[in-house]
């Protein structure tokens, strides 16, 4: 009975930005071994990946001033309500991350692709231009 009510309330994983509806678990916010109740107020749906973040990596959940749940990373920063890409966590050295990800220059993606192809030269195995039959 509580499972149906929990799924009806949360609809998907409660972690910000996650919309997984399969492979979700009922997570006790205050663990049952620490006196947490198995009630809707103490339960939320978490997918397997985010459930692991909470139990093994150190993410925590807290209530804000409006009594809504929010997540905090192990370093104490709140996870944005819209979620984030995993690479957003790597913010210590922007220059190294940009080189690692091969971010395009200010000219945009097309300029980056042109530069990449010109660096490879004619021996890169570039396909011939399309032939049009009339």
Structure tokens at 105: 């220059």
SS3 103: coil
Instruction: Evaluate whether 90 touches 97 at the Cβ level (below 8 Å).
Output: yes
Rg from Cα positions in the chain: 23
- As a three-state string, the secondary structure of 75-92 is CCCECCCCCCCHHHHCCC
**Cα–Cα distances in Å, from 131 out to 6, 26, 124?**
59, 58, 20
Tens of pLDDT, residue by residue over 41-90, are: 889 999 999 999 899 888 999 888 888 889 998 888 888 887 766 555 55
Tens of pLDDT, residue by residue over 76-93, are: 888 888 776 655 555 555
């Amino acid at each position: 009975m509580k499972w149906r009510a929990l799924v009806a309330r949360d609809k998907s994983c409660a972690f910000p930005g996650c919309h997984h509806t399969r492979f979700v678990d009922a997570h006790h916010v205050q663990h049952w071994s620490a006196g947490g109740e198995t009630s809707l107020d103490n339960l939320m749906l978490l997918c397997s990946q985010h459930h692991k973040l909470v139990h093994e990596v150190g993410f925590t959940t807290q209530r804000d001033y409006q009594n809504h749940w929010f997540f905090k990373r192990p370093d104490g920063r709140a996870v944005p309500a819209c979620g984030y890409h995993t690479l957003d966590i790597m913010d210590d050295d922007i220059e190294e991350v940009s080189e690692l990800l091969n971010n395009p220059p200010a000219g945009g993606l097309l300029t980056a692709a042109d530069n990449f192809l010109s660096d490879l030269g004619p021996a890169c195995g570039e396909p011939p231009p399309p032939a049009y039959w009339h």
